[in-house]
Chains A and B, each alone.
Chain A
């Protein structure tokens, strides 16, 4: 590439990136970020890919009050994508139990809720619905990053206005 193009390319790309960034309507930067951990548990990977996109630079995730963290022990909310294969049940439980404080279980997409098209079988438990009584849902197949961001914002308002999940729910 000719070297004289370099500054123009950078500037144009930076301008584009700034122009596009999707914000949550009416958002304000909250005082502390809600930390999210995404756990894939067996699916087409569509919802997991949407969460990757949400975590990228095209969406104003931090400005909306959220950030992804690399370990469940650092997270406030657990976002589950996938139909929960029997092989992953232990990983899901361990992730949930490693979380502290006012934690929240969120099923992202149809599979995360009830397995979607992947019905309960010798290999599949069928989402978080049969596993827990305390969870929230972000619908879609797959939900868009914008839908997820918007739903997270709504959940944040609802959750902080409601009483905490009982400690006994840890093992449910």
Chain B
């Protein structure tokens, strides 16, 4: 047992996973020597600061109350906590003491209100945008579908020395919209948090809602979601492969990826679903009963499997073009808790699907560890497409079979996780009179963003679009 878990033993706890520490214990906890449990997220609002850690593959939440709108900064121990602290400061006006970085993360001066989620928010009619001061790559240059800009300095040979990412222009006030809604009202917004998870975000949200209510989905619904997640995984891996390939002029491979993804979308539409599976996850029992996922899943497997060997063979012709771009070491992915294909390609083999109720583990064969560069991430995506096809077959073969589950009480608090195509998505929420009282979201882009400085240091500026595309980086799920 780590010193951290040892410290938590005997501390006040709600449910199975949420510890509550007094201020002094919180500070002591953040100064413990020895091996650190990986930190996935750091959140704060006007009442409490909370960190989400991973003990093996089990989540641990730890909270402390704020005093005078202040709390001791988890980033004093965990650099990955910094973005959460900066966002909390922008949204609620709460301060993380001893934080190494307190620059605004979301409020770039354009907002019409400061601390918009705080009871003490102030309207600022004449707000003006803060412009970057030094060298700047605009989102247009960075070239991703989403909005991320980079302030940077150059060192020797014109290589990047420091990099400060900006995601403020992507902020849409999602958390302010969700607070106070019922889960039914919230779901259409959750479904549009990120196109990197039209299925994954709502499923993670519903898992948290269901945990808060002390319920498991019935096996039919459970397996429907598992199949939808795998179809979405294949689609997004194809998109990320295509986008990366275009940047090295591997156009034929990119076109094949696009075609396969469009075939998949057309199948979804022809079986009565939306093309990208938007709004397929629902709380409406009648709508759920109408969903027949197995014919679609079978058709997807039959359409994609014959093309997969061509895709792999064609990739082998282009693979060398991706080598050496955006190398992430095993140490880096563990340090920042980078997950998904990016983490696994660098040897951090954590896949939250292994903890899913009803998961057919025998289909998850990909072992990861492909060298940690853009080429490795592509190989990881290809091997995960193969696994998804195998998993679809396994689930179809034993669809809706009962699985052993442990009952748990309805505590009006839930933590839901989904291993999406781009990594683990977490939702933590509390309900009050059936409405969202607290909601916090952790998107897998967070640790990658935190590691930008380390990832891009020493790279040439013109390599940035390829490197970021190879991560499948998207700020939509971050700038909430």
Q: Which A residues lie at the B interface, using CB under 8 A?
A: 1, 5-6, 9-10, 12-14, 16-17, 20, 22, 40-46, 48-49, 52-53, 56-58, 70-71, 83, 85-91, 116-119, 121-124, 141-142, 144-145
Contact = CB atoms under 8 A, between A and B. Distances in A.
B145 A85 contact: no
Interface of B: 108, 110-113, 116, 127, 129, 139-140, 145-147, 168-174, 176-177, 188-189, 192-196, 198, 239, 242-243, 246, 251-256, 258-259, 261-262, 265, 275-276, 278, 307, 310, 313-314, 316-317, 474, 476
A31 B94 CA distance: 59
Contact of B476 (A41, A44, A90, A144): A44
A44 B242 contact: no
Contacts of B145: 40, 45, 48-49, 52
A87 B173 contact: no
B320 to A, nearest CB: 12
A116 B255 contact: no
Contact of B192 (A9, A44, A119): A44
Nearest to A140: B275
Contacts of A52: 145, 239, 243
A122 B259 contact: no
A106 B415 CA distance: 40
Nearest to B139: A40
Given A17-B259, A45-B474, A119-B177, A86 B111 contact: yes
Given A44-B476, A53-B262, A87-B108, A142 B276 contact: yes
A1 B476 CA distance: 38
Contact of A56 (B129, B146, B242): B242
* Interface residue SS majority, chain B: helix
A16 B239 contact: no
Contacts of A122: 111-113, 116, 173, 176
A45 B196 contact: yes
A57 B254 contact: yes
Contacts of A48: 145-146
Contacts of A43: 172, 192, 476
B172 A123 contact: yes
A86 B124 CA distance: 13
Contact of A58 (B140, B259, B317): B259
B313 A85 contact: no
Nearest to A20: B259
Nearest to A95: B140
B106 to A, nearest CB: 8
Contacts of B278: 46, 141-142
A123 B246 contact: no
B316 A53 contact: no
Given A43-B476, A57-B254, A58-B258, A123 B314 contact: no
Contacts of A1: 313, 316-317
Nearest to A85: B169
B132 to A, nearest CB: 12
Among the interface residues B174, B195, B265, B310, which one has the most CB atoms of the partner chain A within 10 A? Answer: B195
B459 to A, nearest CB: 21
A101 B239 CA distance: 35
B310 A12 contact: yes
A24 B117 CA distance: 47
A86 B476 contact: no
A101 B108 CA distance: 33
